Amino acid sequence: MSGIDTLPPLREVIDSHGIAAKKSLGQNFLLDLNLTAKIARLAGDLSECDVLEIGPGPGGLTRGLLAEGARKVLAIEKDSRCMPALAEIAEAYPGRLQVINGDALDVDPLEHLTPPIRIAANLPYNVGTELLVRWLTPKEWPPFWTSLTLMFQKEVAERIVAAPGSKAYGRLALLAQWRTEARIVLHLPPEAFSPPPKVHSAVVNLTALPEPRFPADPKKLEQVVARAFNQRRKMLRAALKGMAPDIEDRLIASGIKPTDRAETVGLEQFCALARNLAES
Ligand code: SAM
């Protein structure tokens, strides 16, 4: 028995509802409810918050979030086979779980949730990165959420928290560290999942800063770092050549040597360059 609620063990839920993991949906389920409760606790104090969960699957993390006291959970799941299992959880926590059978990329959570909102998810890699970049780059800041607690492949988690000069440093590190405090809070081996993936995983916690560390337009910053790291071995005057005819002068004005490579340049300089390029 789980210990966190009176619902059946997850293995039983999966068997009785026929939710065999599908590779096409990136399904690697967490079946240990002690572990999902731990991840829910890593999401912070949920008692005064609504929680957005993406990709609940059979509902292991969902159960953790509800048991940890989330005011309300909105769970968006693409796989309709998971709906009956999630309906059972909704019944066990009356009025606290809303499930949407759809693609997380198409749903506006603000139509359903009231701030403060925390986001928690164990998502497939491609969708996770796309959503993360979307959550980090709204025009206005602070965003609609106060924290993100997200499972990634270990390698992606390391890219989010990487420091300048390291191999993992790039677009994700810059966008994440610009507007949030980002930390790896848990490492998980493949055996923690069913079926086990080929790689190790890690949970990253990102807390929204009240203001970005340095001013910059999000779209411009995203564009600059994407270009700079697309050709990370090139000097910046070459990698960013297409961005402005006088790119060398703009690099110098932003405190960057035109012969520097992207991986040695810090957040403050990239923000200065994004501001300079926005002036035109
Ligand atoms: N949260 C569950 C757990 O920890 O056991 C399931 C994790 S599994 C890695 C990812 C889940 O995301 C799957 O249930 C999958 O169907 C769902 N999913 C994949 N793409 C999605 C999308 N675009 N929108 C919503 N859910 C999605």
DSSP state of 261: B
Report the separation in Å between the CA atom of 55 and the middle of ligand 1, taken as the mean of its atom positions: 3
Q: Could you tell me the pTM of the whole model?
A: 0.96
Q: Name the nearest CA neighbour of 160 among 151, 231, 124.
A: 151
**Is 246 annotated as ligand-binding?**
no
For residue 86, which of 71, 104, 65, 100 has the smallest C-alpha distance?
100
- Domain pair 10-208 / 218-277, same fold: no
Whether the CB of 59 sits within 6 Å of ligand 1? no
CA distances from 29 to 55, 60, 122, 261 (A): 10, 8, 9, 40
* pLDDT for res 125: 80
Query: Measured between alpha carbons, how far is residue 58 from residues 2, 18, 50, 114 in Å?
Result: 14, 10, 20, 25
* pLDDT one-digit tens code per residue, 68-108: 999 999 999 999 999 999 999 999 999 999 999 999 999 99
Q: What residue spans define the domains of the chain? A: 10-208, 218-277
The answer to whether residues 17 and 85 touch, using CB atoms and an 8 Å cutoff, is yes
User: What was the pLDDT predicted at 40?
Assistant: 98
Pocket test for ligand 1, best of 23, 24, 25 (most atoms within 8 A of CB): 25
pLDDT of 10 reads 97
In CATH, 10-208 is 3.30.1380.10: no
Low-confidence residues in the chain, pLDDT < 70:
1-3
Torsion of the alpha carbons at 85, 91, 96 and 102, rounded to the nearest 10: 30
Sign, Cα dihedral of 105, 90, 121, 180? positive
Q: Describe the strand order of the beta sheet including 97-101 as a list of residue ranges.
A: 97-101, 72-77, 50-54, 117-122, 147-153, 201-208, 180-188
pLDDT of 126: 81
Tell me which architecture the domain covering 218-277 has in CATH. Answer: Orthogonal Bundle (1.10)
Q: What ipTM describes this predicted complex?
A: 0.99
